[in-house]
Amino acid sequence: MRYYTAEELAHVTGGILNKVEDVKVCKLFPPLLADEETLALALNEEEIANLERTKAKIAIVPLGAAPENITSIEVERPRLAMMKLLTMFYVPPTTGDGIHPTAVVYPTAKLGQNVSLGPNVVVAEGAEIGDNTRILANAYIGENTKIGKNGLIHAGVNIGKNTIIGDRVVINHGASIGADGFSFVTETPDNIENAKKNSGEITETNKNQVVFKIPSLGGVKIGDDVEIGANSCIDKGTIEYTTIGNQTKIDNLVQVGHNCKIGNACMIVSQAGVAGSCVIGDRVVIAGQAGMADHISIGSDSIIMAQAGVSKSFPEKSIIVGAPAVPRKEFIRQLQTMKKAEQLIKKFQAYEKVLNADVENNEG
């Protein structure tokens, strides 16, 4: 276990050190869980108040919030500082050195220098693993798949054939990369085609409908510095690549359909679903449980809010809200209209008795 001095912590975070005494720490906790060997993380008002009751001798705080009784480090961007600190204290998973005896590496596969393969890992025909990449237990690397340098593939990951993965990519537990896309065709027009043809009405049905699978012959191409969360799925393209750009981060339980093109530095949050053949620009944020229809495009620097149901394309720098999704300004206007309508109804109800009485008098 390594200990860090206050000076080292201030240097790493780029913060301002207010030193009361010499301290050394080996762990991070919120103030109320901290002891004398802990750096207390007081990054919001509630945690700053808790410093009065902490056992810690050093805390990291936002600019201007330095306490008088303990050593502190003031930082301009608390969340960025927290990232730097957690990176310092992070202990990577144990993978062991070299190839575990139970790993299976096919003769035509190629392994770079310092590759680590855990128990029961399978590296199929023609696959290539770059230098210093670590693959944990029970992972499967498909035929002709190429994984770059310094990657980390967690336990239980399945990577299909013809996948290309860049450098420094992290794929978390149970993710599926390169499974067949959800792509089918019916022998005769199905209900969706029927409804589109008949202005939203289903006028014909075929009780003996036959559904044929469209095979996926393409692959998945993932850029550098990408992270993919646990149990997320990225399907391979039908005849081309499904692509994920550099620096994009995908949360747990996300579905990316076949043929999608997702840009650089995007953030896709848990339980979001991106249907097939969507095109997502750079630096797009897709919040939790948002869903996108197939064959639409979202321009760069857009934000799709949580649980939005996106059924059409939007230009760059859009903020997209609601189901069906609309631009944020239009969504607010709709809310304002509903509020005004509510007020008008209340006014009408207040005068309803008077109006009814006048009608009765005129009829009499």
- Phi then psi for residue 349, to 5 deg, are -65, -35
Enter the tokens of residue 118: 């855990």
Whole-Å CA distances, 98 to 108, 133, 151, 252, 282: 18, 11, 15, 29, 37
319-321 and 326-327 strand pairing? antiparallel
Enter the tokens of residue 86: 């957690």
Nearest to 72 by CA among 81, 59, 84: 59
Angle at 162 (CA atoms; ends 95, 151), nearest 5 degrees: 25
The Cα–Cα gap between 280 and 261 comes to 6
User: Annotated catalytic, 295?
Assistant: no
Given a contact cutoff of 8 angstroms between Cβ atoms, the answer to whether 121 and 138 are in contact is yes
Which of 11, 154, 173, 258 is labelled catalytic?
258
**Percent of the chain as helix, strand, coil, to the nearest 5:** 20, 25, 50
Nearest to 69 by CA among 21, 9, 8: 21
Tell me which residues are annotated as active site: 258
